[in-house]
């Protein structure tokens, strides 16, 4: 008989700072005369931009697959564009694979859920700009327009297009949950921080090779929600903000052994 023994949920909260304009596309609806070619995704109720959890999680996974040199052996979409990911084919492979353990596997022989939950990230008041300032001072509410030009290599004819971006300096909340089942999961948790660091040195959203999408994670807090928390609704003092003054991804990776020791006490 199978048994599932959830030891704790690890919550990783913080902020995402937009370092260079961020463009994560939404559905523009009908193309209007004078409209933006590539609009950003917005909350339809308040018109504020947000970062879908699927965009963050997908970028975490793809960068970690590249970093670990995983074979992209599973075609999940074939048309109109080919989309390939890594999937372990046997339980023996799965037990050693950070990708499939952290992000889950739908392979029939394995069929394991993701340990990582990535929430949507919503716009916050930032240090540089408040939400009110972003709403009032941008080219459009909460956004800027960047003009990009495509040039024909033979005729030199230029074709300008408008790209909508969330301006540099905007800040979004970060909320991740990692399910901890056994001592191996403590090691796999830190693959999440590796993927966060890889993303800081890559880009989020579109037009990343042309200047857009650089972000920075800041003000990170790691807290442990174990049995007592779910019984009383209160953290044990030693389980709240276990990373203490390590508030960036780099600082957390530097204190990895101290944090691991605290988490291993739960196993």
Query: Can you tell me the distance from the alpha carbon of 91 to that of 33, in angstroms, rounded to the nearest whole number?
Result: 55
Query: Can you tell me the distance from the alpha carbon of 218 to that of 178, in angstroms, rounded to the nearest whole number?
Result: 18
| Collapsed DSSP state (helix, strand, coil) of residue 253 | helix
- Residues 100-114, mean pLDDT to the nearest whole number: 86
Q: So where are the chain's domains?
A: 8-51+120-264
User: 210 and 151 in contact (C-beta within 8 Å)?
Assistant: no
Read off φ and ψ for residue 123, nearest 5 degrees: -65, 135
36 — pLDDT class (breaks 50, 70, 90)? low
Residue 108 pLDDT exceeds 80: no
* pTM, entire model: 0.90
Residue 30 pLDDT exceeds 50: no
Which of 95-99, 108-112, 155-159 shows the lowest per-residue confidence on average (mean pLDDT)?
A: 108-112
179 — pLDDT class (breaks 50, 70, 90)? very high
Proportion of the chain above pLDDT 70, given as a percent: 94
> 208: which DSSP letter?
G
Residue 135 pLDDT exceeds 50: yes
| Collapsed DSSP state (helix, strand, coil) of residue 136 | helix
């Amino acid at each position: 008989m199978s048994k599932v023994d959830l030891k704790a949920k690890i919550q990783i909260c913080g902020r995402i700072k937009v370092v260079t304009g961020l463009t994560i596309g939404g559905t523009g609806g009908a193309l209007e005369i004078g409209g933006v070619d590539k609009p950003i995704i917005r909350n339809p109720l308040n018109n504020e931009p947000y970062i879908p959890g699927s965009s963050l999680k997908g970028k975490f996974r793809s960068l970690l697959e590249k970093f670990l040199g995983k074979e992209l052996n599973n075609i999940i979409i074939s048309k109109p564009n080919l989309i390939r990911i890594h999937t372990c084919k046997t339980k023996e492979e799965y037990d050693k694979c950070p990708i499939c353990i952290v992000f889950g596997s739908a392979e029939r022989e394995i069929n394991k859920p993701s340990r990582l939950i990535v929430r949507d990230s919503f716009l916050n008041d930032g240090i540089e700009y408040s939400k009110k300032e972003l709403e009032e001072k941008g080219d459009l509410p909460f956004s800027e327009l960047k003009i990009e030009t495509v040039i024909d290599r033979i005729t030199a004819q230029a074709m300008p297009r408008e790209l909508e971006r969330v301006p540099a300096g905007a800040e979004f909340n970060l909320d991740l949950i990692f399910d901890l089942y056994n001592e191996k999961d403590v090691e796999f948790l830190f693959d999440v921080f590796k993927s966060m660091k890889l993303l800081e040195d890559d880009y989020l959203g579109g037009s990343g090779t042309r200047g857009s999408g650089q972000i920075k994670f800041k003000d990170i807090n790691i807290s442990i929600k174990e049995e007592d928390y779910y019984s009383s609704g209160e953290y044990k003092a030693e389980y709240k903000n276990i990373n203490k003054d390590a508030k960036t991804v780099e600082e957390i990776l530097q204190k990895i052994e101290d944090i691991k020791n605290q988490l291993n006490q739960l196993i």
